[in-house]
Structures are given as structure tokens and as C-alpha cells.
Amino acid sequence: MSEAVVSTRIRLARNLKEYPFPIRLSADKAREIVDRVGEALKDCEIKFHRIDLNNIPDTIRVAMIERHLVSPDFISEQDGRAVYLSDDNTVSIMVNEEDHIRLQVIKDGFELKEAYALADQIDNILSKKLNFAFHERLGYLTQCPTNLGTGMRASVMLHLPALRMTGVVNSIGANLSKLGLTMRGLYGESSKPAGAFYQLSNQVTLGISEKAAIDNLQNITTQLIAQEMRSRENLLNDIEVQDKIHRALGILKSAMLMDHSEAMRLLSLVRLGVSEKKLETLSTDSIDKLIVEIQPASIMTRYGDDMSPRDRDIKRASILRERFA
């Protein structure tokens, strides 16, 4: 089961009662909130470091999106916005995105309950120093009404190559809303799937408890993974699918140019082959880390901000050749 689940994320949205929502927040008040969150975090056993968005270059901001540490909306403005990151980058706290606080915990594999336990622990620490906006009937108050209630979004990052190849994933996505869930691309809302990677998350936050939302997501994910595994058994008996997987590895070992879209497609095929023991090469964990490393901004952050798209494609191919050699 774990081979189909890349990671788990819990995100909590919170707002401070004494301040207007971020859309009507002045720059001075926004910076004040950033400081107050930092003070509250001093009581946490986990150590955080603060990154002010207006103090880092564009490439690093985009690279943080690629690593799922912040959202695309978060970097659209810089003044009065900061993120607090744990030393191991498993916890990130965006301050003054759509809400004053977006607390996020990411864990490898299928760890919904463990991720929530950590998020809840940090949320409790913050609530002792910060006065969260809460309504007896509506729950936690958020700038967007769709987050009212628990303010929680739980999600799992899934690798579903078999369901994508068979076209079943499209019909599944259309039916998930009836179950209170939604399926999106690699970077969440409005993003497109890349390399058969999908983000499945709860859609309902009002009138439901955190436990009920997590249990629902856990159950549906388990069913979805079982369906993926059955489809894999049938597909991997097909010599044409086996050929695609082996060709993908061959191209990754030898290509001199590789754009991001092609790399994601090939890595998805190789990850499928590895997880089903049809290939002996990098582990699925290594491939997951490699997927982050070959993202455009991540390459530029490491090898130079002035790289052209062609330079990135050359470097990406070089990285892939080296890893799969």
C-alpha cells in the first residue's frame, strides 16, 4: 500500500480574533502577527527558523512551492508574509496567506493520524498564546467560507499510474465530491496532474469533526489504493506496458536534454516498475526525492539563478543520467 502513497499532509487554518482577515490587513499589522506567531512558537519543543518572503529571491520562493513547503498563493505577495520551518522541513507555518496562520505537517507515506497528532500538538501550543477567532456554531472562522468549521485540510499524495493508463482515474475524480473529497494535481488547487501523481483531500470542514474527516479520507484512500493495485496486476502482464517501463529507464540513463514534463512522465513509469519489482534501480523513496530535485526552480536554486530553460533541461538530464547510471 505504501508504494502508492508518497506523502501525507495535514493543514490547519487559523485567524487571530483581534485582527481583520489578511485581505484587509495593513502591512504593519501583518508584520505584527508574524512576530506574535514567532513568540508563541518559542514554547514548542520543535525548533523553527523564520523566513521573510521579501528577504529571499524569486527562485527560492518557487523552490519552496516545489518542495510543498508553501502554497503558490503564498508567494504572490511578499510584504508582511513569513514562513516558520522546522529544521527537518516536516512542519511549515505560513503567516498571512489566505488566513493569518496556515499550519502544515507533511510526513512520508500513509501517516494521516500521526500527522494530525503533530499538527494538533502545535496548534494547542499556539492557542495558549494567540486568541483564535472561533464561533460556537461555525467553528474556526476563516477568510474563505469553505474552510469554516475545523479549518482542516487533510490530504494524501498518491501515485496512480495504472488508474491513469486505464482512464479510470477521470471517473473516480468526478465521483469523489459525493464523498466529501476532491482530487487535484501535484501542487493542489488549480494544478494539473504530473506523472500520475495526485493529491486527494477532504472537501468538507463544516459540520464534521477532524476525526471523522480523517477517517473518511483514510477509508477512501485505502479503497483507491486497492483499485490501483488490482489495475497494476493486469497492466504489468502486458508486454507493451513492460516495454514502456524499460524504455523509460533507458531514456533516463542516456538522454542529453530533458524537459520537466518528460522527466515526470518517465520517472512515474520507472517508479511503477520499481514498486512492482519489475526494475532494479533506485528505490521509490529515492525517486520521490529526485522528483523534487529536478523541478525547475530547485535546479536554479542549486546551480544558478541565471539558467535558461535549455540550461535547465541539460542539467536535469545530467542529474538523471548520474542517478540512474
* Residue 7 is assigned to a ligand binding site: yes
Fold entry, domain 2-230: Creatine Kinase; Chain A, domain 2 (3.30.590)
Q: What is the pTM for the complete model shown?
A: 0.92
**pLDDT score for 3:** 83
**Residues comprising the chain, all counted:** 325
67 carries a ligand binding annotation:
no
Confirm whether residue 81 is marked as ligand binding. Answer: no
Q: Tell me: is residue 68 an annotated ligand-binding position.
A: yes
Asked whether residue 84 is marked as a ligand-binding residue, the answer is no
Closest CA to 168 of 223, 129, 126: 223
User: How confident is the model at residue 2, as a pLDDT?
Assistant: 61
C-alpha cell at 45: 519543543
Residue type for position 65 = I
What φ, ψ does residue 147 adopt, rounded to 5°? -105, 0
Domain spans, the chain: 2-230, 239-324
3-state SS string over 281-297?
CCCHHHHHHHHHHCCHH
Span between the terminal Cα atoms of the chain, in Å? 28
Q: Is 153 annotated as a binding residue?
A: yes
- Does residue 10 have a known ligand-binding role? yes
pLDDT value of position 31: 96
In the numeric block, the cell 504489468 is attached to 236
> Is residue 155 a known part of a binding site?
yes
Which residue ranges of the chain lie beneath pLDDT 50? 1
Distance in angstroms (rounded) separating the CA atoms of residues 257 and 205? 45
Kindly give the residue spans of alpha helices, DSSP state H, lying in the chain: 27-41, 58-66, 112-129, 161-165, 168-175, 210-235, 239-254, 260-275, 284-293, 296-303, 309-324
Q: 71: which residues sit within 8 A by CB, 6+ positions away? A: 65, 94, 97, 102, 188
